[in-house]
Amino acid sequence: MKSSHRVVASVFLAVAASGLGRTALAQGEGTTDPALQEAKVAFEEAQVLYTKDQFAEAAAKFLDAFDKKPFSSFLFNAAVAFEKGKELGKAVETFQRYLSVDPQARDAAEVKTRIDSLKALLAPPTAPGKAAPDVAVAPVLPAMATKGLVIIESKPAGANVYLNDTTQGVFATTPWQGSLDPKPVRLIFEAKGFKRETREINPRPDKVLELYIAMSEEHFLGWIEVVSNVPGAEVFIDRQEIGAIGRTPYTGHLKPGSHRLWVKRAGYETAQKDIEVQPGTATTHTINLEQVGYGTLNAGSKAGEGGTLFVDGAQACVLPCEQKLKPGDHALRVQKEDMEDYDGRLTVNRADYTTMDVSYSPKPGRGKAWAEAVLSAGFFAGGVFLGVKGNQVKDEIDKDIKDTTKLISTKDSRTTTGKLYYIGADVCFGLGLVTAALATWNFLESGPPSTATFKTTNTAGASPGKLGLAPMDVPHGAGLAATGRF
């Protein structure tokens, strides 16, 4: 990259003082640290050398800047310069110093991986009888750029700093120094008893950005802190429909007067509190949340639509739907026309949220059963008809036997005809019984039962480890209270 493509500069942001309550850069404040000015000069010289591919000299200047002002970003840049100059041992050592100075760095995991990769290049495995490769060969590692530096100071010190909005919690407290991603960002400053201030900045990887904010006192507002036994709960003030203004622990200004607070968190009952705010005062409001006393069943996706849900034998709703269930074991049944029933059980705990997706199994068709039933009826009708005909023949023979004027031969053909009628009736009745049994079986036959899948999460479970900071008063000064879950 040509040196003309990189601009090394220091940016100073300030706002002139005025009687209208605008932020001001106090005379002589934020610009009188000789060590900082010397460190900036060294940083600028290092960046120029870096763009000229004079990496060893650039690394030395970055370390010189660190000696004058121990900002971890200077060490990071020195390590990158050493690596670019193929001095991998020094790069490893300097990266390790960077983590030692700033163990909580946002890129700590990435830097640790980098150290491991560099160590592997320094001592690669070698086959017997083969010399180790020259470590001066350029390492095949992803490119890593130098960092810029952002220095934020405020009057008063200890102001909370938020990035872009307050819903994500406090990012830092002033004074603060470190690196930010090279993209526009909105900084929000809050301090007890002072007006909220905002600034738009555009960090650069090759710049030192100094930001000094003198906040105006806000005596006519009140300062509140809202904390709860469940960190990260949403805080609403006066109107829920406009959305949450932050998460616990929350701090901010409010106009004097009566206000209503709501604190919400999934898996807990919404808590409400009415407060009175006095001008120029600071108050803390502790709002404890209670875990809900029920679990929620979200029954049925689009595929399960139309089924009827029964809980413990009582009809509950038509899918898809939600039902609140008492903790304990529950019998579930889902019925849908032309589909096999689903039967199962669900154990519910407080604050459980369970999704239930039903997969229906169609009932077997009844066409075959109806055909067999009709055929059975036909056989029975035929049997009755043939039986009647046989009885008619028998009655005729009996009548002729009683009539003395008629002579009946033992070889009368009607006897054979009557027997055939009776045999045919028996056969029809037998076939009717068989087909009736088959029809009954097919009418009662069922397919595989419908099934359901469940996914349960406990909405009141522990949230990810998160640290919240809020200002607090201490004797002869001020401090920060930290709350969180790990």
Q: What is the pLDDT of residues 10-49, one digit of tens each?
A: 333 333 233 333 333 333 344 467 888 888 888 888 888 8
Domain holding 438, by residue range, is 367-398+412-444
> Domain ends where: 154, 186, 214?
214
Q: What is the rounded CA–CA span in Å between residue 35 and residue 66?
A: 10
In a domain, 128, yes or no: no
Q: What is the rounded CA–CA span in Å between residue 268 and residue 290?
A: 5
Phi then psi for residue 39, to 5 deg, are -65, -40
Q: Which positions ≥6 away from 266 have C-beta within 8 Å?
A: 353, 459, 460
pLDDT for 446 equals 65
Domain count, the chain: 4
Same domain flag for 306 and 240: no
- Give CA angle at 421 (419, 426), nearest 5°: 95
Same domain flag for 108 and 232: no
Work out the average pLDDT over 297-312.
85
pLDDT for 345 equals 93
pLDDT digit string, tens, across residues 431-457: 888 888 877 876 666 668 889 899 999
Confidence bin at 416 (pLDDT 50/70/90): confident
pLDDT for 263 equals 95
Q: For residue 361, what is the DSSP state?
A: -
pLDDT for 128 equals 56
Task: Give alpha helix (H) positions in 348-412.
Answer: 367-402
Q: With 80 as the cut, is the pLDDT of residue 301 above it?
A: no
Work out the average pLDDT over 96-119.
89
In a domain, 479, yes or no: no
Q: Mean pLDDT check: name the lowest of 147-161, 359-373, 394-408, 456-470.
A: 456-470
pLDDT for 373 equals 83
Q: Between these two residues, 480 and 292, which has the higher pLDDT value?
A: 292
- Report field, pTM of the whole predicted structure over 0.85: no
In a domain, 467, yes or no: no
Same domain flag for 27 and 158: yes
Same domain flag for 263 and 299: no
Residue among 188, 182, 187 nearest 202 (CA): 182
Same domain flag for 327 and 256: no
Whichever domain contains 317, its CATH number is: 2.60.40
- Residue 442: enclosing H or E segment and its boundaries? helix 413-444
Q: Which positions ≥6 away from 114 have C-beta within 8 Å?
A: 95, 141, 144
